[in-house]
Structure 1
Amino acid sequence: MKVEGFVAEGYDAVREVFQKLVDEGRETGAGVSVWRDGREVVQLSAGWADAARTRPWQPDTLVMPYSLSKAFATLAALVAVRDGALPLDEPIAGHWPAYGVKGKESTTLRQVLTHRAGQPRFPAEAAGLDLLDDAGLRESLVRAAPEYVPGMSLGEHALTYGHLIDGILRATAGTTLGEVFNDVVRPALDLDAWFGVPDDALGRVADLEYADPDWPRLLHAAPWLQIPDGVLDVERTNSSAWRQAVFGAVNLHTSASAMAAFFSHLTSEDGPVRVLLGSRLHADLLASQVTDFDEVFGTRITWTLGFVRDRGKIAKGGIGGSAAWWSLKHHHGCAYLTRRLDDHSRAAEIAAALGDDLTVVGED
């Protein structure tokens, strides 16, 4: 397979690394994009978008990047904060009384957004629920006690993040995560990204595939991803029903170019994210909120409201290998989105070709 696309002067190393990943068989379908100073300086595609290998990967191919989705669920929540529906630091239960039971009475939106709400996974009672039973999964979080006292420990809310935000938006603003993202956030940021892919874009979605059939079992995060069953099952995640549903923690569908462009504007004082949220919330979105050992990641990590941050980057990735980031050192936005579910070594090698380091995830 030949890597297609372009690189501006000075970015040849990115093409070389990407071609090496393809030649070694480590990549079978992916896109790479880098934006700097308002223009795309790298746009590369390789491999296939479908399991049958009949559709070449295109610059506008959409793929599900798993937890990269969470950053955009965060933006939907912050729109509600912007509009006065719920402050970041008041108990959610004041607006969603049913949620405020069994130790969750004082849980705040800030704790949810920084993965300190004590619900990093769905409770055992949700094991029999279907992956797309949105109401049932949300209600299971309402009834459950937190695994730890909210605010006292850290663990990425791997699958629950979107359902918690969706429940908060329903209770406080009379709307849903999908509606706020697709009707407010996506148009404001001019994003080719979707919670619930529309009919006319389904033909652009890439099929996920395993690099190793045992990949779901081998993940460090596997214990947090077992309920509900199916999030790591490519037969489910490659279905139109899944692609057109909203599972806010993981199932945004987007392109590498869209994600690199988004991250390239993320910190701009006159950029679309700041315009959307206002200066105070924009600053809060990007500021380090907590640094601690994250049980789900298995490492020490610094969270902002929706991103991971260290001295070199503001970033978010997802299981399977996709990642996007803003380089605080080099001032470029980058994205590596893949359909071949494996580790993050491929994105790390692309980052290294740009002078960035994806291996550091904590500020101290």
Structure 2
Amino acid sequence: MTAHDHPPHTPQPASADGFTADGYDTVRRTFQRLLDDGRETGAGLSVWRDGTEVVRLNGGWADTGRRHPWTSTTLVQPYSLSKAFAALTALTAVRDGALELDEPIAAYWNGYRAHGKDRTTLRHVLTHQAGQPRFPASAAALDLLDDAGLRTALEQAAPEYPPGTSMGEHALTYGHLIDAVLRAGAQTTLGEAFNDVVRPALGLDAWFGVPDHELHRVADLEYADPDWPRLLPAAPWLQTPAGALDTERANSRAWRRSVFGGVNLHATATTVARFFSHLTAAEGPLRRLLGPQLQQEYISAQVTGHDTVFGTPLTWTLGFLRDRTKIAKGGVGGSVGWWSITHGHACAYLTRRLDDHSRAAEIAAALGDDLTVRTDG
């Protein structure tokens, strides 16, 4: 972290920009309070209901120099929220018959048979049961952007537990496992399939590998506290290879143009909330993309148990966390998207200020939602 991450005496914009429909004044006030209190320095908030965006708020700055205000077109990296989109990309290959959810992925990726991984399925991967929640120690010397090296490290490593017997969010490995299976079984990559198939089908303003002509829209990440990376409960799962939580690396052109499918989607708040608004819809682009059976597989509970990374009981779908009130996915640093089963709305809070999830939790409370993930239904 450098001194210019928090320039002294730089004023925040006086008010949040955007709009709120009638009945959402509490949401606007909550968002404004986060800006006024300095807990937020750059974020976008979107809420969709009945096919309409009813809240679109932007506040703070998109850059560490505090020169460019955050706008509705600002792209930001939401860390593990990216996983829901990586999983969806894999499911398009299932739709096409190139992959199967319950066939061993070693049938496509022959080298993956090593060390007891021969029965690992795509369903195990998508539900964080593949036994590779982190890269092995052998990957410590690899560069963060050495895609081929990291895939090989996963191929050659023994799982931390027999696949399908336990679960823990595959923090950095998720996208690389999906990418490797797509390469072997569908002759495409995660980045290619997402950008060429998923993006246009759903009308997403989101990218795995931001193209040069869109880089000017990407927000700079910054720490709320210089010690934030070290204090994270998930830190042990994010250390290998080094650099995933390094803002200098994350803010680099090379990183933004790369595909690191577990964490580095870049998207707007509006596009994420709109995406979540389609999750359960019987008519809409997600249903048209996947068909009714795979759409239901995508959002339905697949496994419930103790997640060894989160350290708490959770229910995973093929890409989301789910309980009786919501379908949700968040990312380290504070970005969250969710569909409220209870209230029938979708929300995305995307931030560049890396901190905890209390800001999104306050937005959720203003909407009558609770972001605490339970396993009671």
TM (normalized to structure 1)?
Answer: 0.99
- In structure 2, the partner of 1:189 is 202
Amino acid at match of 1:275: R
Alignment counterpart, residue 295 of structure 2, candidates 282, 289, 292: 282
Ranges in structure 1 where 5+ consecutive residues have no aligned partner: none
Cα distance in 1 for partners of 2:243, 2:375 equals: 31
Amino acid at match of 2:149: G
Amino acid at match of 1:298: G
Identity of aligned residues (%): 71
- In structure 2, the partner of 1:130 is 143
Cα contact 1:308–1:361 (8 A) shared by 2:
no
Alignment pair present for 1:199 and 2:204 = no
Cα distance in 1 for partners of 2:186, 2:59 equals: 42
Cα contact 1:302–1:363 (8 A) shared by 2:
no
Q: For the aligned residues, what is the CA RMSD?
A: 0.7
Helix, strand or coil: the match of 2:43? strand
Q: Residues 363 and 273 (structure 1 numbering): CA distance in 2 closer, same or farther, change over 3 Å? A: farther
Task: Report the alpha carbon displacement of residue 361 of structure 1 after superposing the two structures with TM.
Answer: 3.9
Alignment pair present for 1:35 and 2:48 = yes
Alignment counterpart, residue 335 of structure 2, candidates 322, 326, 329: 322
Q: How many residues align?
A: 364
- In structure 2, the partner of 1:358 is 371
Helix, strand or coil: the match of 1:258? helix
Task: Report the alpha carbon displacement of residue 94 of structure 1 after superposing the two structures with TM.
Answer: 1.3
- In structure 1, the partner of 2:192 is 179
Amino acid at match of 2:119: S
Alignment counterpart, residue 60 of structure 2, candidates 47, 55, 71: 47
- In structure 1, the partner of 2:35 is 22
Cα contact 1:292–1:300 (8 A) shared by 2:
yes
Task: Report the alpha carbon displacement of residue 360 of structure 1 after superposing the two structures with TM.
Answer: 2.4
Amino acid at match of 1:355: G
Amino acid at match of 1:224: W
Amino acid at match of 1:67: S
- In structure 2, the partner of 1:98 is 111
> Cα deviations across residues 63-82 of structure 1 (Å, max 9, x unaligned)?
00000000010011101111
Cα distance in 1 for partners of 2:256, 2:311 equals: 29
Alignment pair present for 1:156 and 2:169 = yes
Cα distance in 2 for partners of 1:278, 1:3 equals: 39
Alignment counterpart, residue 229 of structure 1, candidates 223, 238, 242: 242
Task: Report the alpha carbon displacement of residue 362 of structure 1 after superposing the two structures with TM.
Answer: 2.7
Helix, strand or coil: the match of 1:102? helix
Alignment counterpart, residue 119 of structure 1, candidates 123, 127, 132: 132
Give every structure 1 segment of 4 or more consecutive aligned residues whose post-TM-superposition deviation is greater than 6 Å: none
Helix, strand or coil: the match of 2:53? strand
- In structure 1, the partner of 2:95 is 82
Cα contact 1:32–1:335 (8 A) shared by 2:
yes
Q: Residues 202 and 361 (structure 1 numbering): CA distance in 2 closer, same or farther, change over 3 Å? A: farther
Cα distance in 2 for partners of 1:74, 1:340 equals: 26
- In structure 2, the partner of 1:251 is 264
Cα distance in 1 for partners of 2:375, 2:61 equals: 35
- In structure 2, the partner of 1:299 is 312
Cα contact 1:138–1:167 (8 A) shared by 2:
yes
Cα contact 1:291–1:363 (8 A) shared by 2:
no
> Cα deviations across residues 102-122 of structure 1 (Å, max 9, x unaligned)?
010100000000000000000
Cα distance in 2 for partners of 1:86, 1:62 equals: 31
TM (normalized to structure 2)?
Answer: 0.96
